[in-house]
Structure 1
Amino acid sequence: MSHLERSLVKAELDRLTMKFFQAVSFEPGEAPSYASIAALFIERGLLIKNVGSAPEISSVQEFIAPREALVGSGTLTRFHESEISESTLIFGNVAHRFSAYAKSGTLNAKPFEARGMITTQFVNTPEGWKMSAMAWDDERPGLSIDKATEHSS
């Protein structure tokens, strides 16, 4: 893969990642664009929340449904998530991105903030690059982004 080809693929992976964060983020009085998430993923894409004792593994629709319910009921009135930093590896038709993220919102009228790490897998399809899986974990005592991003040999 030439430097130009790699740059073009990286730009597309950046775009897909940004579109995901935009789709889940919204301000009070706005509605998130959850429906746009499906176009970012392959048909059988997975989203895995792994912040507790067991992973919560969801299809795209299973990921969207409970979040739409929280917003629709007025329980979640604001949410913002963004990428702090990333490392992306591309090999032919597959790619991997490890991202540090920050999120904040208002749930049950109480503000919250958290940071964590997301690992995203991408595949090149006949329709272009798509996400195939995304898994994340939040910081907690003993687990910090700063320690996770230190390079080990």
Structure 2
Amino acid sequence: MGWSCGLLAQQADADDVESIDAILAAVYAVISGDAGEARDWNCFLSLFSEGATLSAVVQGDSGKFERLIMTPESYIEQSGSNLERDGFHEVEFHRITEEFGQIAHAFSSYESRRTQRDSSLFARGINSFQLMHDGERWWIVSIYWQSEGPDNMIPAKYGGS
């Protein structure tokens, strides 16, 4: 499957948004790259619907789990330079997709490394994608993720050990 994105925000390459497989591949491709490699953030923005969110489950100082909410733009502001500086490769290793009418949900298990050749992972987790098809293309409505931890391992039904 190829990956290419449009040059202007909100003008996605048709190949990237023609299927659920394509739009998820485009997300993983655009955020991934070696240290010093620029990311195509216009491509990233073109994959998201108006009002889309990216959210992470984080543990606050009190120990309570909270939802850190970002827009696609604030995700780029908060994470973009770190991804480009340090290198980041996120690869899907398992997925369960459910569809009904114009909506879809994909539970996408991932592994993260600094380079494609790294034998050691620095993170694993699950990205929960909510998507919508508007009759012409797929849009990401939200990505909500949680990293794996010692007390929260990915279960076998989602590709874990």
Q: TM-score, normalised by structure 1?
A: 0.78
1:58 to 67, 70, 78: 70
Q: One-letter code of the match for 2:26?
A: K
Secondary structure at the aligned position of 1:51 is classed as: strand
Aligned residues of 2:95 and 2:109 also touching (Cα < 8 A): yes
Q: One-letter code of the match for 2:57?
A: N
Aligned residues of 1:85 and 1:101 also touching (Cα < 8 A): yes
Distance 1:71 1:93, change over 3 A: closer
Give me the whole-angstrom Cα distance separating, in 1, the residues matched to 2:58 and 2:21. Answer: 25
Distance 1:40 1:135, change over 3 A: same
Tell me which moved more, 125-134 or 17-26: 125-134
Match of 2:80 in 1: 68
Distance 1:40 1:143, change over 3 A: same
Tell me whether 1:34 sits opposite 2:41 in the alignment.
yes
Give me the whole-angstrom Cα distance separating, in 2, the residues matched to 1:118 and 1:57. Answer: 14
Aligned residues of 1:51 and 1:136 also touching (Cα < 8 A): no
**Number of residue pairs aligned between Structure 1 and Structure 2:** 133
Q: TM-score, normalised by structure 2?
A: 0.74
Write out the 4+ residue segments of structure 1 that deviate beyond 6 Å after TM superposition: none
Aligned residues of 2:56 and 2:146 also touching (Cα < 8 A): yes
Match of 1:105 in 2: 114
Give me the whole-angstrom Cα distance separating, in 2, the residues matched to 1:40 and 1:12. Answer: 12
Give me the whole-angstrom Cα distance separating, in 2, the residues matched to 1:103 and 1:51. Answer: 17
Greater share of strand: 1
> Which structure 1 segments of 5+ residues have no match?
1-10
Match of 1:3 in 2: none
Match of 2:144 in 1: 135
Tell me whether 1:120 sits opposite 2:129 in the alignment.
yes
Q: One-letter code of the match for 1:59?
A: T
- C-alpha RMSD over aligned residues: 2.2
Deviation at 1:127, TM superposition (A): 4.4
Tell me whether 1:92 sits opposite 2:104 in the alignment.
no
Distance 1:93 1:71, change over 3 A: closer
Give me the whole-angstrom Cα distance separating, in 2, the residues matched to 1:88 and 1:147. Answer: 16
Deviation at 1:17, TM superposition (A): 0.3
Percent of residue pairs identical? 26
Aligned residues of 1:48 and 1:57 also touching (Cα < 8 A): yes
> Which structure 2 segments of 5+ residues have no match?
1-17, 60-64
Give me the whole-angstrom Cα distance separating, in 1, the residues matched to 2:75 and 2:51. Answer: 12
